[in-house]
Amino acid sequence: MEEEYKIKIEGVSKVFGHGSQKALALLDEGMPKEKVMEKTKCAVGAYNVDLSIREGDTFVIMGLSGSGKSTLIRCINLLNRPTRGRICIDGENIVEYDKDQLKEFRRHKVSMVFQHFGLLGHRNVLRNVEYGLEVRGIDKDKRREMSMQALETVGLKGWESYHPRQLSGGMKQRVGLARALANEPDILLMDEPFSALDPITREQLQNELLKLQDELHKTIVFVTHDIDEALKIGDRIAVMAKGSILQYDKPEDILKNPVNGFVESFVGSDRLWKTPDMLRAEDIMSKKVVEIGAGRSVAHAIELMKEHNTNVLAVVDKVSPRPNKLLGIVGTNRLKGVTDHSVKMGDIMKTDVVEIPHSMNLTEVLGIRKDKKIQYSPVVDDDGKVIGIITNASIVNVLTDIVPEAEEY
Amino acid sequence: MWDFPEALYIDIGQYIEKLVRWMLVNMSGFFDAVTQVIIWVLLRVQDGLAFIPWWAYVALVFLAGWRLGNWKRGLSYAFMLFLVGAFGLWGLMIYTLSIVFVSVFISLLVGIPLGVAMAKFLRFGQILKPILDAMQTMPSMVYLIPAAMLFGLGLVPAVFATTIYALPPIIRLTYLGLMNVNKEVKEAGQSFGSTGWQLLQKVELPQALPTIMTGINQTTMMAMSMVVLSSMIGARGIGQEVLTSINRLEIGRGFNAGFAIVFIAIIFDRILQGAANRFKTSE
């Protein structure tokens, strides 16, 4: 599905300095980056990066400083010209653009928001927001109208005639955002836009960006070094280090399955615990489900429990037309009082079980279990088939894996 | 045998002399035209400056000092200017000022584009930098010789020599100002698809303005010091007084003229610096 992607980055490398091609050749031979830098005096910003960014996604590039994330995002509007590779936007390779095409591309398709705002100190707020429209040659009344609209969108109505120096950091970045939005681009590039702000303002602006994105559906490429920000904002996250992409995935997949130790340490082993929304029912269930047909006897059930070392059985329909459909569950408590070991499962099973969809998140699962005071919650897949069971024990097991190891006392 | 052998003597000066002589012969039409233009402009400026009554200058300086600083400063600048008049040097000061203004104007006209070119074409900058160094270290009086040869004696060679001498700081600081424009601000300008000219005019030059203002200040100071010397090639002005008092060993007269020059320089410096700071704080 080629056309599904708005931006396709293919084999992009950026090496700064003279002799960049030579440095690239050395890298291709497998020489480590540090050695190449030392030998050629070139700085390797990004090496063989492949990324596909879907239209309307907020795509987060995350990495420490020096990881090449800012280099990479600057390739997307050619503030950095890739030393090698293709960047296709709407199917056109922008690296091959000539001067005029590039100008038009920057004027209409892509706008950028900068870490330190990049505002023009000699212009007031309105004239800053107008800048992009002004260089396009849009007439004064029209661009004023569009800029006022953009300022209203970011909540800066009434601040038009102030100068950037009179504004707080958060407001400056709103101006930066309004300036980018005024141009009505398809793609918004945001290079650590909230890093220079205090935590409270940062959170506020993150929320506003999320809200804005719900309405605008721009394709956003967002660079950050802050994992919390990445998880909050990103539909997809790419983790970068030393100029290469280590992993790119949905946020929850990065948390659950970090590809290597670096990503794991970057994400933080306790991260999942701090963001319980990312834990799904399928992550906290015990996958050991022992099924028993509704027509089986108590004796059989006791045997099964012993054999599988479990104290709960899922009673399923072994008779067509609905094979393996969950009917109820039987725990040890239900068996205790029964003296007649020939009683069928279908008669003593607990039938008012709450089936948990596999994608329900931890907070909701815990809520249901608390409200309904239930001990065993079977987890079903999309077809209604039981794939696991959540018990107090399974929750504890998962949490002990996630929670950082306790300090020793 | 410890002396430097005469056989190895090289005379660089002769080439410059040849060049100047060649220009004199082959480009006399050009220099005549330049002379005509400069004279015409100078006379207009002189007329204009002389048309304004002395107390208007004093009031203007007071106002400028007051607006850019406080009323005490305004008052002290006004008093200094008043003293120049009281020394009996007002008329000569007008001559001096007209040379300074015209020279500074030409310097800016030539220097700012050169500074821009240095910043835009780094190779050009690398060539120009040592030339600027040489221009600034060269004893200023040396400029008087070719100026006098090309333009004769009087006001025009004075303007020429003063312009050449005052040129380096404005070039240098324009260049510096442009090179120091915040990288992100420049990137922001580029990212919106500005053309090179739009970027220069709407982003870079306005951002570099405080530094360029400092350059204008320095250029004016250089012009002030050169204009005094240029009286050696017959330019009228306060420098003439200095020259006369040297020749006649008239200490009092010399110091009167000296102080007058110092006062004018201080007034220029403070007012231009105040203006530059105004731009800085408005960032």
Q: Residue ranges of the domains in chain B? A: 13-51+87-282
Quote the tokens at residue A405.
Answer: 């190891």
Quote the tokens at residue A23.
Answer: 């440095």
* Residues of chain B neighbouring A190 (CB-CB closer than 8 A): none
Pairwise CB contact (< 8 Å): B184 & A114:
yes
- Name the band, by pLDDT with cuts 50, 70 and 90, for residue A1: very low
CB B161 within 8 A of CB B234: no
* Residues of chain A neighbouring B188 (CB-CB closer than 8 A): 112, 114, 118-120, 131, 179
> What pLDDT sits at residue A407?
47
Residue in the structure block whose two tokens are 């795509």: A59
- Name the band, by pLDDT with cuts 50, 70 and 90, for residue A316: confident
- Name the band, by pLDDT with cuts 50, 70 and 90, for residue A270: low
> What pLDDT sits at residue A331?
81
Q: Minimal Cα–Cα distance from A93 to chain B, Å?
A: 18
Q: How far apart are CA A167 and CA A227, in angstroms?
A: 28
- Name the band, by pLDDT with cuts 50, 70 and 90, for residue B283: very low
Tell me which chain A residue has its CA closest to the CA of residue B191: A106
Share of chain A above pLDDT 70, in %: 93
Q: How far apart are CA B236 and CA B244, in angstroms?
A: 12
Region of residue A169 (left: phi > 0; alpha: psi -120 to 50; beta: else): alpha
For A79-167, list the strands marked E by DSSP: 84-89, 92-93, 110-113
* A359-400 per-position pLDDT tens digit: 888 788 888 888 877 778 888 888 777 888 888 777 777 766
Is the minimum CB–CB distance between B207 and chain A shorter than 8 Å? yes
Kindly provide the b/e burial profile for residues B4-15, where b requires at least 16 CB atoms within 10 angstroms of the residue's own CB: eeeeeeeeeeee
Of B195, B206, B207, the CB nearest to A103: B195
Tell me which chain B residue has its CA closest to the CA of residue A106: B193
Of A112, A117, A123, the CB nearest to B191: A112
Of B191, B203, B206, the CB nearest to A79: B191
Pairwise CB contact (< 8 Å): B209 & A121:
no
Of B190, B203, B282, the CB nearest to A79: B190
Pairwise CB contact (< 8 Å): A183 & B192:
yes
Pairwise CB contact (< 8 Å): A134 & B202:
yes
HEC secondary structure over chain B: CCCCCHHHCCCCHHHHHHHHHHHHHHCHHHHHHHHHHHHHHHHHHHHHHHHCCHHHHHHHHHHHHHHHCCHHHHHHHHHHHHHHHHCCCHHHHHHHHHHHHHHHHHHHHHHHHHHHHHHHCHHHHHHHHHHHHHHHHCCHHHHHHHHHHHHCCCHHHHHHHHHHHHHHHHHHHHHHHHHCCCHHHHHHHHHCCCCHHHHHHHHHHHHHHHHHHHHHHHHHHHHHHHHHHHHHHCCCCHHHHHHHHHHHCCHHHHHHHHHHHHHHHHHHHHHHHHHHHHHHHCC
CB A12 within 8 A of CB A72: yes
Region of residue A90 (left: phi > 0; alpha: psi -120 to 50; beta: else): left
- Strand-pair partners of A113: A190
Poorest-confidence range of A143-157, A192-206, A239-253, A355-369? A355-369
Q: How far apart are CA A227 and CA A255, in angstroms?
A: 10
* Residues of chain B neighbouring A105 (CB-CB closer than 8 A): 193
Q: How far apart are CA B211 and CA B198, in angstroms?
A: 20
Tell me which chain A residue has its CA closest to the CA of residue B195: A103
> What pLDDT sits at residue A34?
85
Pairwise CB contact (< 8 Å): B198 & A135:
yes
Q: Minimal Cα–Cα distance from A284 to chain B, Å?
A: 46
Q: Could you tell me which residue, B76 or A265, shows the higher pLDDT?
A: B76
* A51-68 per-position pLDDT tens digit: 999 999 999 999 888 888
Q: Given a cut of 90, is residue A409 above it in pLDDT?
A: no
Pairwise CB contact (< 8 Å): A118 & B185:
yes
> What pLDDT sits at residue A255?
82
Q: How far apart are CA B203 and CA B205, in angstroms?
A: 6
Q: How far apart are CA A384 and CA A314, in angstroms?
A: 13
* Residues of chain B neighbouring A136 (CB-CB closer than 8 A): 193
Of A103, A163, A165, the CB nearest to B193: A103
- Name the band, by pLDDT with cuts 50, 70 and 90, for residue A274: low
Is the minimum CB–CB distance between B188 and chain A shorter than 8 Å? yes
Nearest alpha carbon to residue A49 among A247, A184, A213: A247
Tell me which chain B residue has its CA closest to the CA of residue A137: B194
- Name the band, by pLDDT with cuts 50, 70 and 90, for residue B187: very high
A263-267 contact pairs (CB < 8 A, 24+): A263/A239, A266/A62, A266/A64, A266/A227, A266/A239, A266/A241, A267/A227, A267/A239
Is the minimum CB–CB distance between B194 and chain A shorter than 8 Å? yes
Q: Which fold has domain B13-51+87-282?
A: MetI-like fold (1.10.3720)
Nearest alpha carbon to residue A111 among A155, A82, A146, A67: A146
Of B182, B193, B202, the CB nearest to A106: B193
> What pLDDT sits at residue A258?
82
* One-letter amino acid for residue A324 of the chain: N
Q: How far apart are CA A206 and CA A203, in angstroms?
A: 5
CB A124 within 8 A of CB A145: no
Is the minimum CB–CB distance between B182 and chain A shorter than 8 Å? yes
Tell me which chain A residue has its CA closest to the CA of residue B282: A122
* Residues of chain B neighbouring A102 (CB-CB closer than 8 A): 193
Is the minimum CB–CB distance between B187 and chain A shorter than 8 Å? yes
Nearest alpha carbon to residue B208 among B181, B171, B172: B181
Size of interface A-B (CB pairs under 8 A): 75
Q: Given a cut of 50, is residue A406 above it in pLDDT?
A: no
Question: Over chain B, what is the mean pLDDT?
Answer: 90
Q: How far apart are CA B160 and CA B151, in angstroms?
A: 8
Q: How far apart are CA B112 and CA B172, in angstroms?
A: 9
**CA–CA distances in Å: residue A210 to residues A55, A218, A250, A277:** 16, 11, 17, 17
Q: Minimal Cα–Cα distance from A165 to chain B, Å?
A: 7
A71, A103, A113, A122, best to mutate vs chain B, most B CBs in 10 Å: A122
> What pLDDT sits at residue A404?
52
**CA–CA distances in Å: residue B222 to residues B39, B209, B279:** 21, 20, 22
* Residues of chain B neighbouring A120 (CB-CB closer than 8 A): 185, 188-189, 202-203, 206-207
Nearest alpha carbon to residue A46 among A129, A63, A18: A63
CB A326 within 8 A of CB A355: yes
Share of chain B above pLDDT 90, in %: 63
* Residues of chain A neighbouring B194 (CB-CB closer than 8 A): 135
> What pLDDT sits at residue B264?
94
Q: How far apart are CA A302 and CA A310, in angstroms?
A: 10
Q: Could you tell me which residue, A235 or A336, shows the higher pLDDT?
A: A235
* Residues of chain B neighbouring A115 (CB-CB closer than 8 A): 184
Pairwise CB contact (< 8 Å): B207 & A120:
yes
User: Does the structure's ipTM exceed the value 0.95?
Assistant: no
* A43-53 per-position pLDDT tens digit: 889 999 999 99
Is the minimum CB–CB distance between B15 and chain A shorter than 8 Å? no
Residues of A with CB under 8 A from a CB of B: 74, 77, 79, 102-108, 110-112, 114-123, 131-132, 134-136, 163, 165, 179, 183, 189
Of A108, A111, A116, the CB nearest to B191: A111
Pairwise CB contact (< 8 Å): B184 & A103:
no
Nearest alpha carbon to residue B216 among B119, B94, B100, B87: B100
- Name the band, by pLDDT with cuts 50, 70 and 90, for residue A287: confident
CB B94 within 8 A of CB B49: yes
Q: Strand A356-357 vs strand A312-316: parallel, antiparallel, or unpaired? A: unpaired
Is the minimum CB–CB distance between B180 and chain A shorter than 8 Å? no
Residue A27: alpha-carbon gap to chain centroid: 30
